[in-house]
Amino acid sequence: MSTSDKSYLPSGLKLIVLDEAGKLIREVSSRSQDDYIQYKCTADPGDRFSVKVSLAEASFTEFFAA
């Protein structure tokens, strides 16, 4: 596979972790040649949080309970 065949995430794609109240815990953004975003999230049993993935005006949020 040549480097020109490599796919990258769009620059500025955001991974946002929010607590149960919607307060920002962490935000990570992709850069121009990232092929993934990695963030290690730890939670205690019973914790509730959400993860939001966004790019420009589009976003998707998923809710989790540990």
Q: pLDDT by residue (tens digit) across 5-30? A: 788 999 999 999 999 999 999 999 99
Compute the distance between CA of residue 9 and CA of residue 7 in angstroms, rounded to an integer. Answer: 7
Token reading at 9: 């995430």
pLDDT band at 60 (very low <50, low <70, confident <90, very high): very high
| For the chain, domain boundaries | 9-65
